[in-house]
Amino acid sequence: MSSLDQKFFQDTNVAIPPATDTLALSTAVGTVTTHVAKDTLFWEADPADYIFKVLRGTICLSKLLPDGRRQVARFCHAGDLVGLTASEDYPYSADALTDATTIRIRKCDLDEEFDANPAARESVLAAVQEELSAAQRQLMVLGRKNAVERVASFLIAMSEQALRQGEDGSVVELPMTRVDIADYLGLTHETVCRTLSGLKKSGVVAISDPHRIELLQRDILEDIAEDSEERRCAA
């Protein structure tokens, strides 16, 4: 087993939450792959021959309607698996938002790995369950929350992601554009801008650079995200 092989299934960053950790896997064959920003790893409806494990960078998973409307299903960070699906074809496109490194593994090789190492399937099952759980939380965001609540939920989630990476959760780096955020939150980029400006004006966040947001009052942001009497505070 080469060191590359090992790497696919080991923790690849500071801290990966247990549920998305594929540590238990051990002998699969993968290829380290680098992507520059705006690279497409694969397109929606392409045959799903490979899965990717993100080592570094941010990957954006999105779907399109025939008329061009776009929905971002997920932003993937170090430790996340991309492209694992039961179907023949990818159900979404995957684009690198930043320069990124992944380990790419053929799906059939993964199946072999599963046969050789049942614990591998266990850890992948846990990862998919966690992904499902996140998708269901996002259903609540898209179905029932208003614009401020959506943006607040997003900022809190990004902050928690930063914390998991060992960073300080009080500052959130946003590798994606306002359009990406809007397509993730089911809003327009204008509404995302306006809402962020509102939060800034009310002192809940500070925005020096568009891609760097400081959470000045995290507790209020959490109240806004979760429901909150306080959600009118930041209009």
Partner DNA sequence: CGCCTGGTTGACCACTATCAAGGTTAGTGG
Partner DNA sequence: CCACTAACCTTGATAGTGGTCAACCAGGCG
Where on the chain is the footprint of DNA (CB under 7 A)?
Answer: 146-148, 177-179, 186-191, 193-194, 196-197, 207, 210-211
207 versus 233: smaller Cβ distance to DNA: 207
Distance separating alpha carbons of residues 70 and 140, to the nearest angstrom: 18
Interacting residue with a second copy among 28, 54, 73, 158 (CB under 8 A): 73
174 versus 181: smaller Cβ distance to a second copy: 181
14 versus 206: smaller Cβ distance to DNA: 206
136 binds a second copy (CB under 8 A): yes
Tracing tokens 């208003």 back to the chain, one arrives at 146
Q: Please check whether residue 207 is in contact with residue 219, taking contact to mean a CB–CB distance below 8 angstroms.
A: no
Binding footprint of a second copy, residue count (CB under 8 A)? 45
Q: CA dihedral in degrees (16, 18, 21, 26; nearest 10)?
A: 130
In the bound complex, what is the minimum distance in angstroms from residue 212's beta carbon to DNA?
Answer: 10
188 binds a second copy (CB under 8 A): no
Interacting residue with a second copy among 6, 71, 98, 202 (CB under 8 A): 71
118 binds a second copy (CB under 8 A): yes
Q: Please check whether residue 216 is in contact with residue 205, taking contact to mean a CB–CB distance below 8 angstroms.
A: yes
Binding part of the chain for a second copy, among 31-39, 122-130, 191-199, 212-220 by CB under 8 A, reads: 122-130
**In sequence order, what DSSP letters do the residues of 177-193 get, joined into one string?**
-HHHHHHHHTS-HHHHH
Distance separating alpha carbons of residues 72 and 141, to the nearest angstrom: 13
Interacting residue with a second copy among 128, 147, 207, 233 (CB under 8 A): 128
Rg (CA), the chain: 18
Per CB under 8 A, contacts with a second copy among 165-184 are 183-184
Distance separating alpha carbons of residues 139 and 145, to the nearest angstrom: 10
Q: Please check whether residue 195 is in contact with residue 151, taking contact to mean a CB–CB distance below 8 angstroms.
A: yes
SS3 assignment, position 69: coil
232 binds a second copy (CB under 8 A): no
Binding site for a second copy (CB under 8 A): 19, 63, 65-67, 69-71, 73, 84-87, 91-92, 114, 118, 121-122, 124-126, 128-133, 135-140, 142-145, 183-186, 226-228
